[in-house]
């Protein structure tokens, strides 16, 4: 039961809304928790027990840390400052051990279920290389849906309690609701406890405005997925599965097509999820902000999968940046290497674990790890070349706000993105390098109009639908980028025009959606991460 299916849209979601509204306000949280577990069970069956286990561990660790903080406060009350300091250090060490234990349990379970076979297969290759007869046995492991998403939320919750950003929640139901809210179980967005927990718990009644805005957001997500993404999937699937038969411009087209497919599908899914949450009066964090308007790779990642980037920045980048290792490097660098190399070294130390984890988070494949390292190198190179870039701009008196320069920067970023997504989608790292190399062979531009593109299962009408859909998304993106409609959004438009847009979206999904003969229902890409 994925978010784009008729079962979810016309059965489960309306039933959840109906049950929620009929339930007394004080216990509406119970209804939402049960809906989350039912949703989880329909996809993963008895593995819903895993989600419950994660919830119990998260609640217990948070409560334990909060209790420790309370004990510390009681113990230092009325004592001299000199004695306070030592006692605080002792309790802080205890809290750190508790937090480390909680993180270890969750990460260990995640690593075993998601990465065991990957590490086992690679370990066996190394063992064979040494002549050893020992081999790790592959295992058939069941992977709960959304495990990567709610595991990060759980770790974030425990860390926030440790840092004192939030108090450990005494009621386990509130933690269960935070981790098990059904619209975001499968694909995020990865929210912080302070962003959604109170609203979820409030149990406010349904409102017409929330229902209408949520419905429009869901409809916009369906448009992106069914009109654009599901069509592009047909082309992408053929080329990436049989890349040996293609080269030059076709591989380049496939890389661009996959990037667009991924964006339309993932952002479309986020629209459905955020719209679903909005119906209940819950504002989930945005995950995309016009990423293709970015002028460099760093800006792109501030606009793409925003909640994942924020999580890595908050819970990996920041702790590493204040770690003993970085402090020692800072001290050594300032005394021996100079400001430039010191800054570059600090950036490398902080960015490397972020992008290694980013690659691993997506899945147990070398191509995903390469994808993370690709952006690590790109971002580090940007930091390294920044002084040279600034000097060149200053020397030639280049106006960075000039339209032509901005276009060049955006196109350069697109090139970086397309190459990265080619490796991300390729069936293994070896296939990725072969596809990348094949782009530079027999680059026959005429294949774009000689009928070759009509051999992948799409006809001219399909391409017209894709182009028109992309233009519509681009126009909406430009409106959002310039904030032309403000916070009111579509509500700011003249009523007849607004309803014309609504009916247009409905007709576009019904008439031009990629379903029926020649198409297949495509699962959400990020549901498997």
Residue in 281, 213, 276 with CA at minimum distance from that of residue 502: 213
Predicted confidence at residue 518, as pLDDT, reads 61
468 sits in which H/E element = helix 460-481
* CA–CA gap between residue 467 and residue 228 (Å, rounded): 8
Predicted confidence at residue 90, as pLDDT, reads 87
Predicted confidence at residue 521, as pLDDT, reads 64
pLDDT in tens, the chain (529 residues): 788 888 999 999 999 999 999 999 999 999 999 999 999 999 889 999 999 999 999 999 999 999 998 888 888 777 776 667 778 888 889 999 999 999 999 999 999 999 988 898 888 888 887 777 777 888 888 888 889 999 999 999 999 999 999 998 899 999 999 999 999 998 889 999 999 999 999 999 999 999 999 999 999 999 999 999 999 999 999 999 999 998 899 999 999 999 999 999 999 999 999 999 999 999 999 999 999 999 999 999 999 999 999 999 999 999 999 999 998 998 888 888 888 899 999 999 999 999 999 999 998 889 999 999 999 999 999 999 988 888 888 888 888 788 888 999 999 999 999 999 999 999 999 999 999 999 988 888 888 888 889 888 888 999 999 999 999 999 999 988 887 776 666 666 777 777 788 888 888 888 887 776 666 666 666 665 6
Angle between helix 403-425 and 366-396 (nearest 10): 170
Tokens of 387: 């002084």
Question: Cβ atoms within 10 A of the Cβ of 343, count?
Answer: 17
What are the boundaries of each domain within the chain?
A: 6-205
Predicted confidence at residue 525, as pLDDT, reads 66
The label of the residue with tokens 């019904």 reads 510
Predicted confidence at residue 139, as pLDDT, reads 84
Secondary structure letter of residue 338 according to DSSP = -
Terminal CA-to-CA distance of the chain, rounded, Å? Answer: 16
* CA–CA gap between residue 422 and residue 412 (Å, rounded): 16
Strand pairing partners for 304?
Answer: 288
Examine residue 308 and say whether the peptide bond preceding it is cis (omega within 30 degrees of 0). no
Tokens of 457: 């299962």
CA–CA–CA angle 256, 262, 268 (5° rounding): 130
> What dihedral do alpha carbons 275, 280, 282, 286 form, nearest 10°?
-10
- Angstrom CA distances, 145 to 48, 182, 286, 298, 453, stand at 9, 11, 21, 30, 36
Predicted confidence at residue 528, as pLDDT, reads 58
Q: Is the dihedral of CA 241, 245, 248, 253 positive or negative?
A: negative
Tokens of 177: 């609701």
At a CB cut-off of 8 Å and minimum separation 6, what does 235 contact?
253, 254, 257, 453, 456, 457, 458
Q: What is the full DSSP assignment across 285-307? A: PP-BS-GGG-SSHHHHHHHBSHH
Tokens of 509: 């999904």
- Whether the CB-CB separation of 119 and 125 falls below 8 Å is answered with no
């Amino acid at each position: 039961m994925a978010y784009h299916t008729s079962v979810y849209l016309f059965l489960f979601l309306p039933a959840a809304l109906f049950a929620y509204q009929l339930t007394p306000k004080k216990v509406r949280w119970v209804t939402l928790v049960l809906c989350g577990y039912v949703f989880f069970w329909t996809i993963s069956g008895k593995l819903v027990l895993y989600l419950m286990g994660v919830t119990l561990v998260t609640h217990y660790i948070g409560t334990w840390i909060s209790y420790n903080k309370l004990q510390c406060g009681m113990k230092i009350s009325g004592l001299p400052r000199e004695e306070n300091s030592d006692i605080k250090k002792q309790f802080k060490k205890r809290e750190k051990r508790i937090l480390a234990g909680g993180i270890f349990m969750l990460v260990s379970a995640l690593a075993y279920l998601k990465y065991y076979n990957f590490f086992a297969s690679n370990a066996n290759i190394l063992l064979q290389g040494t002549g050893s007869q020992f081999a790790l046995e592959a295992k058939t492991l069941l992977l709960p849906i959304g495990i990567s998403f709610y595991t990060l939320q759980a770790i974030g919750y425990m860390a926030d309690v440790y840092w004192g950003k939030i108090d450990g929640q005494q009621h386990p139901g509130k933690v269960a609701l935070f981790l098990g809210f059904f619209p975001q179980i499968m694909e995020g967005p990865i929210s912080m406890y302070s962003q959604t927990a109170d609203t979820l718990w409030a149990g406010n009644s349904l409102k017409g405005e929330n229902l209408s805005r949520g419905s429009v957001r869901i409809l916009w997500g369906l448009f992106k997925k069914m009109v654009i993404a599901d069509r592009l999937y047909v082309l992408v699937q053929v080329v990436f599965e049989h890349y040996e038969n293609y080269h030059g411009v076709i591989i380049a087209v496939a890389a661009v097509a996959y990037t667009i497919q991924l964006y339309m599908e993932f952002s479309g899914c986020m629209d459905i999820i955020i719209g679903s949450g909005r119906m209940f009066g819950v504002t989930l964090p945005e995950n995309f902000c016009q990423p293709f308007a970015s002028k460099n790779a760093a800006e792109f990642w501030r606009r793409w999968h925003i909640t994942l980037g924020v999580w890595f920045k908050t819970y990996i980048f920041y702790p590493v940046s204040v770690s003993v290792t970085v402090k020692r490097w800072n001290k050594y660098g300032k005394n021996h290497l100079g400001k430039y190399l010191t800054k570059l070294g600090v950036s490398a130390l902080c960015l490397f674990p972020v992008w290694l984890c980013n690659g691993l988070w997506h899945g147990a494949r070398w191509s995903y790890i390469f994808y993370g390292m690709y952006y690590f190198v790109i971002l580090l190179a940007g930091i390294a070349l920044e002084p040279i870039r600034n000097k060149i701009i200053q020397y030639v008196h280049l106006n960075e706000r000039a339209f032509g320069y901005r276009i060049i920067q955006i196109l350069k970023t697109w090139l970086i993105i397309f190459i990265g997504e080619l490796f991300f989608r390729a069936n293994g790292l070896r296939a990725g390098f072969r596809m990348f190399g094949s782009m530079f062979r027999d680059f026959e531009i005429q294949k774009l109009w000689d009928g070759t593109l009509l051999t992948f299962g799409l006809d001219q009408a399909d391409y017209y639908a894709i182009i028109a859909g992309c233009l519509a998304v681009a126009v909406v993106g430009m409106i959002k980028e310039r904030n032309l409609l403000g916070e009111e959004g579509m509500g700011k438009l003249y009523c007849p025009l607004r309803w014309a847009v609504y009916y247009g979206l409905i007709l576009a999904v019904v008439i031009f959606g990629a379903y029926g003969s020649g198409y297949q229902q495509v699962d959400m890409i990020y549901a498997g991460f």
